[in-house]
Structure 1
Amino acid sequence: MKSYHALAWKQLKGQKLTSLLILIAVVMSTMMTTVVGQSLGILQSLREQQAGMLNGYRYATFHNLTESQTQLLASDTRISWTGDTQALGSTDLRDSGISLGLTEYEGDALTAYPAISRLKEGKLPQTANEIALSEETLKLLGHPGGIGDPITLDLSVSLLRDEETAYEYKGDFVLSGILENNYLGYSSGVVVGIAGQGSGKRLLPDKYGVYSSDFRTAHKSGFQHTVDDLANKLGLEEYQIQYNWLYLNALGIPFDEENNSPEGKSGGFSMMAVTSGIIGLLVLLAAGLVIYNILRIAVSKRIREYGTLRATGAKRGQLYLLVTEQLLLLCGIGIPAGAALGVLFAGGITDAATRLFSPDLFMAQSTEELSSLISHNSGLKWLPLLVSASITLLFALIAAMPAARYAAKVSPTVAMTAAAVRIKRNNRKSKRIRHFEAYYARLNLRRNIGRTVITILSLVMSITVFVAVQSFSGLLDASKDVEKLHLGDYAFASEKIGIPSSVMEELRNREDVAELFTLKYKLYSQDEQGKLDLRTDIILKQPFETLQIVGIDAERLNALFPGMTEKQRKSFLDGKSTLIKNTIPMTFEGKTLEGTSFAPGDRLSIGDRSFDVLGNSPAVTSSNAEFINGVQVIVYDKVYDEIIGGSSYTEVYPKLTEGADVQAFEQYLESASDQIADSRIISYRHTDKQLEESYQQIKLLAWGLIVFIGGIGLLNIVNTTYTNIHTRKGEIGMQRAIGMSRASLYRTFLWEGAYYGIIAAAVGGVAGYVCTIFVQAVATDQLAFSAFPIESVSIAALASVIACIVATCLPLRQIARSSSIVESIDAVD
């Protein structure tokens, strides 16, 4: 023997099957990390695209700017792009509760909003008298919608904060284009119409000739500092700054989110990256455990050989080197192969997802646009590839160290005499064995606790990864925050007359209604003496303030005041406490007018009731209505009835059950609406469908990744179990020598495989659930128990049990057929 290097290669060739199984584990681990690294850029780009399509490719917007201010903003070197728009006013669309907001887009400002500028017919407006509206908008206007037809709109316009009443006028236009329907505006209650350039100067007084400037900064780092500095430079107030929280979150750009993001926080790609790291670590641990398990078994088989080497003068360090070098030789083959296969699979997943479905599903206007987006982000990325290879090698070496240590610690005398195993028998009570094979399988599991634990643990990690990665896929959806802007599938409203309690009871009792949210709302304005038509000790400080009494149901309370204790909840429901939305301070002629405000712990009275202020709440309004500045006192539904003296509802939001007859429910809702003169119905089902479609592009790729990870998990299970059985040839031969039939032998090892799968499924399901909780905590910044993922755990459990049984059956069948009893006892590999 020339050197231990030659011995390492000779041992690998001598134990071909074991070497092959380790090589498979290395290849799979490298494939997984490569696919994650290559796919991450694609998924992130698609997430950014989704957010941009939903809310515009802009970082922020400055409102109420003069023309000179827009020019100053555009000339700043820290700004990479600006787009100026001018609001021409809004008009209500019949009794839909939705308004048409007419906007003039200067220059290339419209390029930031591709979702609202898709033409179905005609052309986009170019001159001051032209207009483009969606097909649904024309329908609500009662207009036939022929290209070239004149359209007159009754518009009203005001400044963002205006002391005067809105300016009302009639605008005459010519329809130049019909846009594709965009239902996303239903959540905010405003659909957009596009007017040609120069319309503002032709139609509006100079007072309303102000602009809103969308912009993107040249650098993502320091974004908030840049915005603050620009706002100070332009002399802007806080209310003039609007952040595009949806796009900023997707890009991972931190910003002043307190009053801009729906939940007062920004998640961003950093959230996804952290979660990706958790998932990647689980994958590597699973692969590392497989490598460790196989190496440990391989070292155990060669224990006499290592003892002989120690006896002939080999040092511990040389045995460390021997085991480590074997792994390095396998990694030298497996890592490049795994990386190449990973790149191919990453491209294959993307290609399959994009070729099988229409570009419309991916929010792209053509196959070319979609292919361009994918190819731009799916090219070979060497840094993730090198990181993937390095991480796999590191984890493989870490996994090999315990086996190398075990080989180095072997005493030459003990190893050569094969006395390394001590058999300790406990006194057992005699009892009836009801099923011998199952009983014998349990004895086998307990006979080598270390092997059993490592085998189960490697299976547990694969199951955990599969469960956790499914919860991870939900974090990729940028549209989920938009869905929170409305409750239920419909909004059924009546501000003046109100919806009778009898209709509410009918809705509650319907089998097709899963949830029902409600709102009661009453507005009190001050008279000339500053008094309110309500008995209360609340004194409003400013003449522009209003007092609003709002009644909500118990379900909505959790969203308005998260983290509420049970004692606080009971106090609210009993009518002893209230939530408050304070007045927004106004600035007039450079002077800030402080409004009425309440803090937690304050006390107020309305009618015969007194309330403790529990906390401050976001504004509560009926769907698509703006907050009217003032103080909102939010109380429980039934307490509202006692204060106001009525029981009718302002608005209700039914959410249908899965598989409900939508047409039948809508007919019922229309029938109920016909009985209430001023009522209206808004359907959010088109909105939710469009949001769901916007997520499909990411969901398809994410599920490709999930299936791929699941496949690797199953291969790891097969790999581990196969190794476990195949390396016990001698044991199998001995069992057959003492008279065990092949059928009984099969059943014993099948029971072992079933036990492995069942135990691993139970532990892996719980571990996956724990990982799901942590993944959700990363997304919400709040550690809380979520619904147990029964479906994914069940799939993983069933797949793991089947995989264990199959992986047990195949090598056992091969061994039993190909070897005699004597050959089985004598087998080395």
Structure 2
Amino acid sequence: MQSYKEITYRYLKGQKNRTLLTILGIILSVALISAIGTIIVSVRGALIADAIRENGSYHAKFNEMNRDSINKLMNHVGVSEAGIGKFEGSAIVQETTQGEREEYRWDIPYRYIEIEGLEDKALEMLPLNIDEGRLPKTPDEIAIEHWVANYFYKEVQLGDKIKLTVGNRVIGNDEETSDGNIIRKETFEKTGEKEYTVVGFIKPQYIWKGNLVTKGVVGLDNKTEEGSYSAYIKLPNVKDAYEKVTSIAKDLGKTENDFEYNYRVLRLYAESMSETFDKSMVILLLFVVGLIIVSTIAVIYNAFNISVLERITQFGLLRSVGATPRQIKGIVLKEAMILSIIGIPIGLFSGVFAMRVVLYIINLLKADILVFSDMKITISEIVFLISTVIGLVTVFLSAIGPAIKAGKVSPVEAVRNTGSIRKEKVGKTKNTIFIRKILGVEGEIAYKNLRRNRKRFIITVFSMVISISLFITFSSFSNFMFKMGVVESSNMGNFSIYGDIDDNAEKIYRELKDIEDIKRVYKVTFNNGEVLIKENRISKDMIKMAPMLFENKKDDLIEINNAQIFTIGDENLEVLKGLLKEGTLDIDKLNKENGVLVINSTYAHNQKTKRNSLMEGYKLKVGDKLPYASYDLDKEGADRVYKELTVAGVLEKGILDMEYNLNGSINIITTEEVLNNLLMTNDEEIDDSISRYRTNMYIDMTEDGDIENIRSYLDKLEERTPGFHYIDYAESAKENKIVNIIVSIFLYGFVAIITLISSINIINTISTNIILRTKEIAMIKAIGMTQSGIKRMVAFESLFYGIYATIFGGTIGTVLSYILFNILMRIREFQWMIPWKNIFIACIGAVIIALLSGAYPLKRINDKIIVESIKAEN
């Protein structure tokens, strides 16, 4: 009776809404899996390209090689390519100033260019990004970092010939100065002079003019047999790269101290030295895909199960005219196959299309300087195959249960249509007087409806539990990614100013403020000291993790060392309003009360894992008193003098490079007046020692500001201000902002799709639950319940479902969130907290969707005449 299977097409066409919802569930799940696979393959390719650009394409580097070893290496069967380099010596650029030597505690006599000779193959393998000109080809041509050109006695241009004094730097022993500081001693041994033609300027990752030692490259003279060489090698295959390189070294008579790996490139080829990291990534991927499969099974299973319940009578009639259980199962499984054939290809296409849309958005953000500029959507046959197999397995796992159920339907049971509604057991729901008094008759009937049909109740609650659990888990996953630093939250501005500028800080600050292209200048003045805190204001987890930090007490208060107190300029405090968790941010109030803003989260060192963990280490609240003593006010033989601070606000985190304390202590932000008061004393001797504040500055440009105008000003300022230095973060700052947006798109897009799948699940289940009870609802209307009463009854049912689902879904979601946390902890440590916010959103959202899901089917029932509804089949 193969013709029975033709009924499949009629049902699918007749129940278009059900069919479309099921197909949509398949499309979303397959699209999500294929999108994850596609983005992993595509981003991996882009990251490898970026790593090669930043770190070079070689896999390992051998040092201290003679010519004989080089020849053996070049001919080694395990090496596919080799590039040779040779250190030519250190060349003097300019004498260092006394201020620079004092600042760096380094008695280095000169600024240097470390010159390395490289042959063509080595030049190809190394990350030498030319900003202007070209790479050298001969031993008398040189390429230097472009900012160094300003440090010669005359600014160097392309094509200029420069004569450099070359020699060896001799690093001496560290010595202690009269003031107790340690200074590194260094001398220079001249070996000769060489003349080079400048043919190119190398672009460093960022410009830090405090670099006293920089890089220069020349062409390699292959005629010279003497000297120590280095070799950059590539392997034919990176699988087991670390073992292969070790084997090559052994063949050459070298030890592990004679070579080094290009870790970043190898890590991206899945050859990480840290097996824990690789395994954790695999476990994470399996966990995420597993949850997607579970969510899809829930959606599709419910769709097929509901489909079977709707057609109990049809299946019974088919059984009565001779259809076997196997043929009935075949009808349901054929539906699954048809829906798979339609949904899976569309899902595959949708996943790739979604990634192309994301890449298009990235291009709109002008992210051409990022790793994403190298990213091309890679259509991988393996990804498509895995996604298809997972999709098919998911659909048939979802369909097999309802198919078996359909095959077991007996003709008599089907004609009576008892498959979904059964008689209530006596006494099962008799104690409903209390509910009736509170919620009325509609609430009582709704409660009885829940208890009357256990299977329907379980299916509905199960759907909502799955939806709530998935939302909590994946929204927690998104939050974890931010905590782990996958999204860089700190913004160091476009430029950072540091060095010996304390005496000129105010003047520099005013000049910067007057530049039109500068949006904001953070004048950061900071001080280190000790605070006293009540024991109940320290997290128990923190004490357990790092007990040694809290061993000392004073007046029943715990001494907290390395507390850092900052100002960022009073006019900049407004930027902290968005980070304020509690309290107020009022400058006048802060000044009046000696008020401060505290950051309770901190990094603490875990003695077991030997890693730093980000956690909420403190529980300070508004109104708490914090006695603070500056280390600068310490006087030999005298007790520390504490001044009382008042907590006026608690911040989620700080800004710039002071988001969290790195020493298990507290970061504090306050006004300039409060900090001044902290460091004031009647002791003239101490006052003299702290008269110079430690000050840094961070500059934010306007959106379309002229960066060259700012650089020009800073260059001139550097020339006339001894000890002044700046770091150019302009490009990296731009990158970080765009990366924030891009990763947020991925993470929140992921959560949005999971939310959509979960919503479809709830809508499908609740709406069908009502449609299956068309006769029942019509009968209730026939005996006098109004339409508004029906709506109230259904609303109460949804509310009851929501309460049960909230309890179970919230619990399961929290457990899954904790499991996910433990997986991610293997990669980077951070503190876990119960995701109350996600639980609240998921539970309220699920109840609202459940309430809205009943609106359309109720309208459909209401539009029919009561008698027709009583006579109608479900």
Q: TM-score scaled to structure 2, two decimals?
A: 0.63
Q: Offset at 1:305?
A: 3.5
- Of 71, 96, 104, the residue aligned with 2:117 is 104
Deviations 1:154-213 (A, max 9, x none): 766469999x97645676544433343522989x968753322148999xxx97x32222
Q: Is the 8 A contact 1:492 1:681 kept in 2?
A: yes
- Of 155, 177, 201, the residue aligned with 1:178 is 201
Aligned to 1:222: 240
- Of 757, 760, 779, the residue aligned with 1:718 is 760
**Matched position secondary structure for 2:432:** coil
Q: What is the distance in 1 between the residues matched to 2:724 and 2:223?
A: 35
**Matched position secondary structure for 1:655:** coil
Deviations 1:612-662 (A, max 9, x none): xx99999xxxxxxxxxxxxxxxxxx99xx9999999xxxxx983359x999
Q: Is the 8 A contact 2:143 2:199 kept in 1?
A: yes
Aligned to 1:253: 271
Aligned to 1:401: 400
Q: Offset at 1:44?
A: 1.4
1:250 counterpart letter in structure 2: L
State whether structure 2 residue 300 is matched by structure 1 residue 291: yes
Aligned to 1:692: 736
Q: Offset at 1:252?
A: 1.0
Aligned to 1:267: 277
Aligned to 1:40: 40
Q: What is the distance in 1 between the residues matched to 2:348 and 2:608?
A: 55
Q: What is the distance in 2 between the residues matched to 1:168 and 1:440?
A: 98
- State how 1:148-167 maps to structure 2 within 5 Å: 148-149=159-160, 157=168, 167=189
- State how 1:741-752 maps to structure 2 within 5 Å: 741-746=786-791, 749=794
Q: What is the distance in 2 between the residues matched to 1:616 and 1:727?
A: 51
- C-alpha change, 1:663 and 1:138, in structure 2 (3 Å) is farther
State whether structure 2 residue 422 is matched by structure 1 residue 421: yes
- C-alpha change, 1:715 and 1:276, in structure 2 (3 Å) is same
Q: Is the 8 A contact 1:118 1:180 kept in 2?
A: yes
- C-alpha change, 1:302 and 1:35, in structure 2 (3 Å) is same
Aligned to 1:131: 142
State whether structure 2 residue 821 is matched by structure 1 residue 773: yes
Q: What is the distance in 2 between the residues matched to 1:241 and 1:644?
A: 52
1:819 counterpart letter in structure 2: K
Q: What is the distance in 1 between the residues matched to 2:818 and 2:359?
A: 30
Q: Offset at 1:55?
A: 2.6
- C-alpha change, 1:706 and 1:828, in structure 2 (3 Å) is farther
Aligned to 2:466: 458
Q: What is the distance in 1 between the residues matched to 2:637 and 2:194?
A: 41
State whether structure 2 residue 341 is matched by structure 1 residue 332: yes
State whether structure 2 residue 434 is matched by structure 1 residue 430: yes
Q: Is the 8 A contact 1:101 1:190 kept in 2?
A: no
**Matched position secondary structure for 2:237:** coil
- State how 1:552-567 maps to structure 2 within 5 Å: 566=546
Deviations 1:507-554 (A, max 9, x none): xxxx989998989xxxxxxxxxxxxxxxxxxxxxxxxxxxxxxxxxxx
Aligned to 1:118: 130
Q: Is the 8 A contact 1:129 1:174 kept in 2?
A: yes
Q: Is the 8 A contact 1:311 1:412 kept in 2?
A: yes
- State how 1:734-813 maps to structure 2 within 5 Å: 734-746=779-791, 749=794, 759=805, 762=810, 766-767=814-815, 769-780=817-828, 785-786=831-832, 803-804=849-850, 806-813=852-859
Deviates more, 1:760-769 or 1:470-479: 470-479
Q: Is the 8 A contact 1:467 1:768 kept in 2?
A: no
1:394 counterpart letter in structure 2: V
Deviations 1:749-787 (A, max 9, x none): 45666776785674575256325304413524x7x7435
**Matched position secondary structure for 1:221:** coil
Q: Is the 8 A contact 1:362 1:694 kept in 2?
A: no
- Of 349, 353, 364, the residue aligned with 1:344 is 353
Q: Identify, as 1 or 2, the structure richer in strand.
A: 2
Deviations 1:21-47 (A, max 9, x none): 222222222222222233321021122
Deviates more, 1:168-177 or 1:68-77: 168-177
State whether structure 2 residue 217 is matched by structure 1 residue 195: yes
Q: What is the distance in 2 between the residues matched to 1:150 and 1:757?
A: 79
Q: What is the distance in 1 between the residues matched to 2:609 and 2:429?
A: 69
Q: What is the distance in 1 between the residues matched to 2:119 and 2:766?
A: 70
Aligned to 2:511: none
Q: Which runs of 5+ in 2 are unaligned?
A: 105-110, 174-185, 501-520, 530-541, 555-606, 612-629, 641-654, 661-668, 676-691, 699-717
Q: What is the distance in 1 between the residues matched to 2:672 and 2:83?
A: 42
Q: What is the distance in 1 between the residues matched to 2:263 and 2:164?
A: 32
- C-alpha change, 1:314 and 1:336, in structure 2 (3 Å) is same
- C-alpha change, 1:108 and 1:727, in structure 2 (3 Å) is same
- C-alpha change, 1:491 and 1:430, in structure 2 (3 Å) is same
Q: Is the 8 A contact 2:208 2:727 kept in 1?
A: no
Aligned to 1:707: 749
Q: Is the 8 A contact 1:467 1:769 kept in 2?
A: no
Deviates more, 1:393-402 or 1:140-149: 140-149
- Of 356, 360, 379, the residue aligned with 2:369 is 360
**Matched position secondary structure for 1:176:** strand
Q: What is the distance in 2 between the residues matched to 1:184 and 1:281?
A: 45
1:669 counterpart letter in structure 2: T
1:341 counterpart letter in structure 2: S
- C-alpha change, 1:65 and 1:712, in structure 2 (3 Å) is same
Q: Offset at 1:3?
A: 4.1
Q: What is the distance in 2 between the residues matched to 1:391 and 1:160?
A: 61
Q: Offset at 1:442?
A: 6.0
- C-alpha change, 1:201 and 1:827, in structure 2 (3 Å) is farther
1:286 counterpart letter in structure 2: S
Aligned to 1:502: none
Q: What is the distance in 1 between the residues matched to 2:383 and 2:859?
A: 42
Q: What is the distance in 1 between the residues matched to 2:760 and 2:609?
A: 56
Deviates more, 1:799-808 or 1:288-297: 799-808
State whether structure 2 residue 234 is matched by structure 1 residue 232: no
Q: Is the 8 A contact 2:767 2:857 kept in 1?
A: yes
**Matched position secondary structure for 1:321:** helix
**Matched position secondary structure for 2:116:** strand
1:253 counterpart letter in structure 2: E
- C-alpha change, 1:194 and 1:683, in structure 2 (3 Å) is closer
Report the count of equivalent residues.
685
Q: What is the distance in 2 between the residues matched to 1:18 and 1:393?
A: 19
State whether structure 2 residue 26 is matched by structure 1 residue 18: no
- C-alpha change, 1:726 and 1:76, in structure 2 (3 Å) is same
- C-alpha change, 1:11 and 1:185, in structure 2 (3 Å) is same
Q: Offset at 1:77?
A: 2.8
Q: Which runs of 5+ in 1 are unaligned?
A: 258-264, 365-369, 495-510, 520-561, 575-613, 619-636, 648-652
Q: Offset at 1:241?
A: 1.7
Aligned to 2:866: 821
Q: Is the 8 A contact 1:54 1:184 kept in 2?
A: no
Aligned to 1:382: 381
2:124 counterpart letter in structure 1: T
- C-alpha change, 1:439 and 1:51, in structure 2 (3 Å) is farther
Deviations 1:378-419 (A, max 9, x none): 13x333222212211111111222222333444554443344
Q: What is the distance in 2 between the residues matched to 1:752 and 1:799?
A: 16
**Matched position secondary structure for 1:44:** helix
**Matched position secondary structure for 1:359:** coil
**Matched position secondary structure for 1:669:** strand
Cα RMSD between the aligned structures?
5.8
State whether structure 2 residue 669 is matched by structure 1 residue 669: no
- State how 1:517-536 maps to structure 2 within 5 Å: none
Q: Offset at 1:253?
A: 0.9
Q: Offset at 1:218?
A: 0.8
